Structure 1
Amino acid sequence: MDEQALLGLNPNASADYRERASAYFEQLKVSHDAWQVCAEALVQRIYSDDHVKFFCFQVLEHQIKFKHSELTALQQQLIRETLMSWLQSQMLNAQPEKTFIRNKAAQVFALVFVIEYHTKWPKFFFDILSVVGLNPRGVDLYLRILMAIDAEVVDRDVIHTAENFSICFKEARRNTLLKDTMRERCIPNLVESWYQILQTYQHSNSELTCQCLEVIGAYVSWIDLTLIANDRFINMLLGHLSVEVLREEACDCLYEIVNKGMDPIDKTKLVESLCQVLQSAGFFSINQEEDVDFLARFSKLVNGMGQSLIISWSKLVKAGDMKSAQDTLQSIEMKVPLMLQLLVHEDDDISSNIIGFCYEYLHILKQLAMLSNQQKANVEAVMLAVIRKLTYDDEYNFENEGEDEAMFVEYRKQLKLLLDRLAQVSPELLLSSVRRVFNNTLQNWQTAPFMEVEVAIRLLYMLGEAIPASHGAHFCGDAAKASVLQDMMRTLVTSGVSAYNHTSVALEFFETVVRYEKFFAVEPIHIPNVLMAFLDHRGLRHASPKVRSRTAYLFSRFVKTLHKQMNAFVEDILRRIQDLLELSPHANGFQTLLTSDDQLFIYETAGVLIVNSDYPAHRKHILMRNLLSPLMEKFKILLEKLMLEQDEERQSVLADCLNHAVGFASRTSKAFSNKQTVKQCGCSEVYLDCLRTFLPALSCPVQKEILRGGVRTFLHRMIICLEEEVLPFIPTASEHMLKDCEAKDLHEFIPLINQITAKFKTQVSPFLQQVFMPLLHAIFEMLIRPAEENDQSAALDKQMLRRSYFAFLQTVSGSGMSEVIANQGPENVERVLFTVIQGAVEYPDPIAQKTCFIILSKLVELWGGKDGLVGFADFVYKHIVPACFLAPLKPSFDLADAQTVLALSECAVTMKTIYIKRGPECIQYLQQEYLPSLQVAPEIIQEFCQALQQPDAKVFKNYLKVFFQRAKP
Structure 2
Amino acid sequence: MACQSVSAVMDEQALLGLNPNADVRYRERAMVYFEQLKESQDGWEVCAEALAKGVYSDDHVKFFCLQVLEHQIKYRHNALTAVQQQLIRETLMKWLQCQLMNPEPEKTFVRNKAAQVFALTFVMEYLTLWPKFFFDLLTLVGLNPHGVDIYLRTLMAIDAEVVDRNILHTQEEVRRNTLIKDRMRDECVPSLVESWFQILHTFQFSQPELTCQCLEVIGAFVSWIDLRLIANDRFVHLLLSQMSVEDLREEACDCLFEIVNKGMDPVDKTKLVESLCSVLQSAGFFNVDQEEDVDFLAKFSRLVNGMGQSLVVSWTRLVKGGGTMEQADHTLRAMEAKVPLLLRLLLHEDDDISANMVGFCYDYLHVLKQLPQLSEQQKSNVEAIMLAVIKKLTYDDEYNFDNEGEDEAMFVEYRKQLKMLLDRLAQVSPELLLEAVRRVFNNAMQNWQSAPFMEVELAVRLLYMLGEALPASHGAHFSGDSVKSSALQDMMRTMVSCGVSSYQHSSVSLEFFETVVRYDKFFIVEPQHVPLVLMAFLDHRGLRHNSPKVRSRVAYLFSRFIKTLHKHMNAFVEDILTRIQDLLELAPPENGFPALLTSDDQLFVFEAAGVLIVNADSPSERKQVLMRSLLRPLMDAFTPLLNKLLQETHEQRQLEIADCLSHAVGFTSRTSKAFSNKQTVKQCGCTEVYRECLQTFLPALSCPVQRGALRSAVRSFLHRMIICLEEEVLPFVPAASEHMLKDCEAKDLQEFIPLISQITAKFKRQVSPFLQQVFMPLVVAIFEVLACPAEENDQTAALEKQMLRRSYFSFIQVITGSGMNEVMANQGAENVERVVFTIIQGAADIPDPVAQKTCFMVLSRLVELWGGKDGLQGFPEFIYKHIVPACFISPMKDSFDLSDAQTVLTLAECSLTLKMIHLKRGEEFIQFLQQDYLPSLQVSPEISQELCQVLQQPDVKVLKTYMKVFFQRAKL
Q: In structure 1, what residue type is equivalent to 2:637?
A: K
Within 2, Cα distance between the matches of 1:361 and 1:666?
A: 53
Deviation string 1:541-574 (CA, Å, 9 cap, x unpaired) is 0000000000000000000000111111101100
Within 2, Cα distance between the matches of 1:378 and 1:411?
A: 22
1:474 Cα deviation from its structure 2 partner:
3.0
1:237 is aligned, of 232, 236, 239, to 239
Is the 2:566–2:611 Cα contact (8 Å) retained in structure 1?
yes
Q: Which moved more, 1:642-651 or 1:489-498?
A: 642-651
Within 2, Cα distance between the matches of 1:482 and 1:940?
A: 71
Within 2, Cα distance between the matches of 1:645 and 1:357?
A: 65
2:907 is aligned, of 895, 904, 910, to 904
Aligned partner of residue 510 in structure 2, secondary structure: helix
Within 1, Cα distance between the matches of 2:153 and 2:467?
A: 53
Is the 1:472–1:483 Cα contact (8 Å) retained in structure 2?
no
Deviation string 1:578-608 (CA, Å, 9 cap, x unpaired) is 0000002234642000000000000000000
Q: TM-score, normalised by structure 1?
A: 0.98
Deviation string 1:380-414 (CA, Å, 9 cap, x unpaired) is 11011101111111121212222211111111111
Q: In structure 2, what residue type is equivalent to 1:176?
A: T
Aligned partner of residue 84 in structure 2, secondary structure: helix
1:478 Cα deviation from its structure 2 partner:
7.3
Equivalent residue, structure 2, for 1:751 = 754
Structure 2's unaligned 5+ residue stretches are: 1-9
Deviation string 1:753-802 (CA, Å, 9 cap, x unpaired) is 00000000011000000000011111111111112222221111111111
2:40 paired with 1:38: no
RMSD after superposition: 1.3
Aligned length: 962
Structure 1 pair 546/610, CA: closer, same or farther in 2 (3 Å)?
same
Is the 1:288–1:345 Cα contact (8 Å) retained in structure 2?
no
Within 1, Cα distance between the matches of 2:294 and 2:187?
A: 42
Within 1, Cα distance between the matches of 2:747 and 2:334?
A: 68
Is the 1:510–1:554 Cα contact (8 Å) retained in structure 2?
yes
Structure 1 pair 481/390, CA: closer, same or farther in 2 (3 Å)?
closer
Is the 1:712–1:752 Cα contact (8 Å) retained in structure 2?
yes
Q: Which moved more, 1:428-437 or 1:90-99?
A: 90-99
Aligned partner of residue 725 in structure 2, secondary structure: helix
Equivalent residue, structure 1, for 2:174 = 172
Equivalent residue, structure 1, for 2:301 = 299
2:524 paired with 1:524: no
Q: In structure 1, what residue type is equivalent to 2:403?
A: N
2:672 paired with 1:643: no
2:140 paired with 1:131: yes
Equivalent residue, structure 1, for 2:468 = 465
Structure 1's unaligned 5+ residue stretches are: 160-166
Is the 1:47–1:53 Cα contact (8 Å) retained in structure 2?
yes
Equivalent residue, structure 2, for 1:115 = 124
1:620 Cα deviation from its structure 2 partner:
0.9
Aligned partner of residue 287 in structure 1, secondary structure: helix
Equivalent residue, structure 2, for 1:929 = 932
Q: In structure 2, what residue type is equivalent to 1:780?
A: F
Identity of aligned residues (%): 76
Q: Which moved more, 1:219-228 or 1:464-473?
A: 464-473
2:28 is aligned, of 19, 38, 49, to 19
Equivalent residue, structure 2, for 1:533 = 536
Aligned partner of residue 332 in structure 2, secondary structure: helix
Q: In structure 2, what residue type is equivalent to 1:275?
A: C
Equivalent residue, structure 2, for 1:968 = 971
Q: In structure 2, what residue type is equivalent to 1:768?
A: L
Equivalent residue, structure 1, for 2:895 = 892
Equivalent residue, structure 2, for 1:311 = 313
1:481 Cα deviation from its structure 2 partner:
9.7
Equivalent residue, structure 1, for 2:158 = 149
Within 1, Cα distance between the matches of 2:847 and 2:407?
A: 48
Equivalent residue, structure 2, for 1:221 = 223
Within 2, Cα distance between the matches of 1:968 and 1:288?
A: 76
Is the 2:215–2:251 Cα contact (8 Å) retained in structure 1?
yes
Equivalent residue, structure 1, for 2:743 = 740
Equivalent residue, structure 2, for 1:273 = 275
Is the 1:552–1:601 Cα contact (8 Å) retained in structure 2?
yes
Q: In structure 2, what residue type is equivalent to 1:388?
A: K
Q: Which moved more, 1:249-258 or 1:318-327?
A: 318-327
Structure 1 pair 771/536, CA: closer, same or farther in 2 (3 Å)?
same
Within 1, Cα distance between the matches of 2:181 and 2:471?
A: 51
Within 1, Cα distance between the matches of 2:213 and 2:481?
A: 69
Q: In structure 2, what residue type is equivalent to 1:843?
A: I
Within 2, Cα distance between the matches of 1:478 and 1:568?
A: 30
Within 2, Cα distance between the matches of 1:866 and 1:767?
A: 29
1:140 is aligned, of 130, 138, 149, to 149
Within 2, Cα distance between the matches of 1:619 and 1:600?
A: 23
Q: In structure 1, what residue type is equivalent to 2:205?
A: H
Is the 2:289–2:344 Cα contact (8 Å) retained in structure 1?
no
Structure 1 pair 94/105, CA: closer, same or farther in 2 (3 Å)?
same
Within 1, Cα distance between the matches of 2:165 and 2:383?
A: 43
Q: In structure 1, what residue type is equivalent to 2:522?
A: F
Structure 1 pair 112/156, CA: closer, same or farther in 2 (3 Å)?
farther
Aligned partner of residue 387 in structure 2, secondary structure: helix
Is the 2:160–2:167 Cα contact (8 Å) retained in structure 1?
no
Structure 1 pair 773/168, CA: closer, same or farther in 2 (3 Å)?
same
Equivalent residue, structure 2, for 1:57 = 66
Is the 1:477–1:522 Cα contact (8 Å) retained in structure 2?
no
Equivalent residue, structure 2, for 1:186 = 188
Matches within 5 A, 1:875-886: 875-886=878-889
Q: TM-score, normalised by structure 2?
A: 0.98
Q: In structure 2, what residue type is equivalent to 1:891?
A: D
Within 1, Cα distance between the matches of 2:851 and 2:484?
A: 61
Equivalent residue, structure 1, for 2:839 = 836
1:949 Cα deviation from its structure 2 partner:
2.0
Aligned partner of residue 483 in structure 1, secondary structure: helix
Equivalent residue, structure 2, for 1:798 = 801
Q: Which moved more, 1:514-523 or 1:74-83?
A: 74-83
Is the 1:552–1:599 Cα contact (8 Å) retained in structure 2?
yes
1:18 Cα deviation from its structure 2 partner:
1.2
Is the 1:477–1:523 Cα contact (8 Å) retained in structure 2?
no
Within 2, Cα distance between the matches of 1:728 and 1:773?
A: 20
Within 1, Cα distance between the matches of 2:603 and 2:475?
A: 37
Aligned partner of residue 288 in structure 2, secondary structure: coil
Within 2, Cα distance between the matches of 1:483 and 1:641?
A: 60
Aligned partner of residue 636 in structure 2, secondary structure: helix
1:477 Cα deviation from its structure 2 partner:
7.8
Equivalent residue, structure 2, for 1:162 = none
1:156 Cα deviation from its structure 2 partner:
4.2
1:701 Cα deviation from its structure 2 partner:
2.3
Equivalent residue, structure 1, for 2:250 = 248
Q: In structure 1, what residue type is equivalent to 2:59?
A: D
Matches within 5 A, 1:48-127: 48-127=57-136
Is the 2:426–2:471 Cα contact (8 Å) retained in structure 1?
no
Q: In structure 2, what residue type is equivalent to 1:706?
A: A
Within 2, Cα distance between the matches of 1:465 and 1:673?
A: 30
Is the 1:474–1:486 Cα contact (8 Å) retained in structure 2?
no
Within 2, Cα distance between the matches of 1:17 and 1:968?
A: 54
Within 1, Cα distance between the matches of 2:594 and 2:231?
A: 67
Deviation string 1:225-248 (CA, Å, 9 cap, x unpaired) is 000000000000011111111000
Q: In structure 2, what residue type is equivalent to 1:236?
A: L
Within 2, Cα distance between the matches of 1:674 and 1:471?
A: 33
2:340 is aligned, of 319, 322, 337, to 337
Equivalent residue, structure 1, for 2:718 = 715
Structure 1 pair 699/959, CA: closer, same or farther in 2 (3 Å)?
same
Equivalent residue, structure 2, for 1:5 = 14
Is the 1:472–1:484 Cα contact (8 Å) retained in structure 2?
no
Matches within 5 A, 1:370-769: 370-471=373-474, 474-476=477-479, 483-587=486-590, 589-769=592-772
Q: In structure 2, what residue type is equivalent to 1:612?
A: N
